[in-house]
Structures are given as C-alpha cells and as structure tokens.
Structure 1
Amino acid sequence: MSLIQKHGKNIAGRDFIVGDLHGQYDLLIEAMARVDFDKIKDRLFCVGDLIDRGADSLKCLSLPFEPWFFGVRGNHEMLALEALERSGNAESLWMINGGTWASKENRTEVRQILFEALTYLPYARQVEVMGQQVGIVHAEPPTDWSMIEDAGPAEKEQIVWGRSRIKRMDKTPVTGIDAVVVGHTIIKQPTWLGNVFYIDTGAFQTGRLTLINAREVLA
C-alpha cells in the first residue's frame, strides 16, 4: 500500500480528527455523539494508537473496516505487529506497553484482525479542508511533507515513534502542507508547535479524548 493516502474535500458532510484511542471505544462513541456525527456523510480521521492499555482494544482495532473511519498506524500497532510476527522479546515489550488485553482474546483472531486492519492504516493521510491541505501522522512529520512519499526505514520510524520536535519545542513549520495533526505524546490540552497540532490528551489516563472538527485546525 502507499505510505500516504490523500482525500479530497468532503462535499457531503464534515471531517473530524480524533486523538489516540488506546482501546477507549466508549469514549469515542460519546465524543461522536456530542458532535452528532453522521456515519453516512461525515468522516473521522484518527492519529493512530487504536489499541493497548484499554479493555476495548479489539473493538477499536476493528474501526478501520468502517467506511467512515480513516486512521494512520501508530507505534502500538507496530508493537503488536512485531510481537505477533516474532514473539520473544517483542512479545514482552508489547505486554509491558499495554498489550495485556490480547491475552484475554483469541490470539489467532487478534493477529488476523491486526494484519487486515494495517492494510487500511497508512503511515500518513492528507485531507483537503476549506481549500487547504491537512496532514495526519501518528508521532512526528518530516521537515518537508513531500518526504513521506519516499520514506525509508528511518523516516518511517520518525513518523510512528518520533518525539524530537516536541522535546525541543520546535516551532519550525513543516513545509509542503498547511497543517499537520499528530498524537503520540500526551499533553494537557491540544497544543500548536509551528503548524503541527498535538491532540493526544491521554484518554486512557485522563478520560479526555480530543475530537475536533478539521476546520478548527485551519481556523
């Protein structure tokens, strides 16, 4: 599959973007209800980490099969992939980082759903909103958005795992894109660094799941 999937403007309804789910399926349904989300017309984009730490991880892992849901892969999906492909140390790392929910499920089923879900979870998405382009990755975009097209292993790791930008509080704009929305790093409230918007408010710890109208990103 392509590393990035691009979406034209939603001419029928609205576009929303939601932070890291981490198995908090009920919080997602509540957040969607608050904005009167219409599954026929509206689209929901997610910054990744659908699974781990939350009891409803399997439900969240099935969201990519919904026609209204558009996620990107997060580091927890990749941790699970490594564990289910290789076991051993990768298995231990996954369990330490919230993968214990899988031990209560059928492992073969989890593996099958994960592999299928990943075919719907590219490394990045790009959405036209109000005539501008909004990018979505899990952790950290490259300095130039166009670099995603040909990302190698190091660039992919940055996209899924990176925190250097937020650690430096780097406000340098990402070129080639109007705005980028990311998750991965828990913050008290949605925060801008240049044209990069961090929206992971730690739903599994705080009970606060950030869901925003994509137009707010460009307001």
Structure 2
Amino acid sequence: MSRPHRNFYGRTKGKHLKDSHQRYLVEDLAALSPGAVGWEENPDRTPLRLDGETWLEVGFGSGEHLVHQAALHPDVTIIGCEPYMNGVASLLGKLREALRGNVRVHAGDARDLMDVLPEGALGRAFLLYPDPWPKARHHRRRFVTPEHLAPLARAMRPGAELRVATDIEDYVRQTLLEVPRAGFRWTAERADDWRRPWADWTRTRYEAKAVREGRVPHYLTFAREG
C-alpha cells in the first residue's frame, strides 16, 4: 500500500526541550507505543491489536486530562495522540510521577494512527481545545473536517461517545455542522448543556488561560450512530 500524501500543518517541536524531557523521549516513548503505526514499520497498514476497552484523545497538549482519565478508569486503555514533541515529553514526565500503566502514546499524525485502528475499536474519543486555525482560509485544516472525522467514525463503535471542548465560537459552529454529517448525533437535551463540563472533567492549563482571557468554554457531546 502506498502512503497517501497528507499535508501537516502546525508545529512538531518547540525551540528547546529540557534535558529531562529529552531523556523521557529516549527512555520512555517507545515502550508506550500502541503498536506498529508508522508507515515504515507497517506499510500494509495491518490493524493494531487492542485488548479490552480503548479510548482515544486526539491532541492531548501537556497531558493533564489524559492522565486524569487514566487514573479514573484504570481498566481502560487510553491512547493519546500528539505530534508536538514538547507536549509528548510533558506527558511522559507526568506518567513517570503518576505511574499509569493504561496509557499508550502515538507521537505523530492522528490520521496515521486511525489508519490502523480496527473498525469499531473505540468506546470514547476526546477532542479538547484543538488548534482553532482562526483564519477562514485555514478552516479546512481543522480536525472537524471529513478527512479526520470519517476515519474517526469508522474506528468508533455504535453508541461510542465523542467529546469536543473549545473556546472558539466558530469552531462550535463548524463542529455542529460537520460532526453529525460524519455519523454522530449531538446528545444535548437542554439549551445550556454546552456550558456544563462533563462530571469527570478536569480543567486543563489551556482552558484556565482561555477563561482568564475572557473566552467561554463550550462542551459538546456526540454519540456514534449505527
């Protein structure tokens, strides 16, 4: 199978990695891989072998939410996907302290990971404060587009939950337009449901900054139809 051409927008590394963060990447990252994801190691795109309940967090930032969910649900394997290596290193540091053995990490493009997730493998997915790409000409780069949502929907079983959090109103608009088209149902029952965080939510560093700067968090929950 030939590798498709995929533009990747955004940073994969900041200006500087702390010595400790470099050490985490060298010593810990390979052992936490969910399996053969890369095209070089898995050119036939053989599906990963996943055991038990599995969730996915796309773009975990520094990993606060992922570690929190792993602590609350020790019997669930949670795969975190993040291309920004500074964030990956921050998560690895947190995992050293928290000793959560139910986390797997893909440090790369979420589309490569979703290529090899078995159909219907995921019971929940999180998309929390994704890059907003605020300029109109860049909206096609957002995660809530068919290029990303179609493979995500394929990897989620019927009834599986997709959680989206954002502080950008136009991202809410595009999410409510595109996610149902991909095979999901918005589960809101009351007008203010989008204002209420989930019962097991933990405020991330990014959300705290958004609130300080006057932006309003939006919490959207969808169920995979099927």
Structure 1 length as normaliser, TM-score? 0.36
Structure 2 length as normaliser, TM-score? 0.35
Higher-Rg structure is 2
**Structure with greater contact order relative to length (CA < 8 Å, sep ≥ 6):** 1
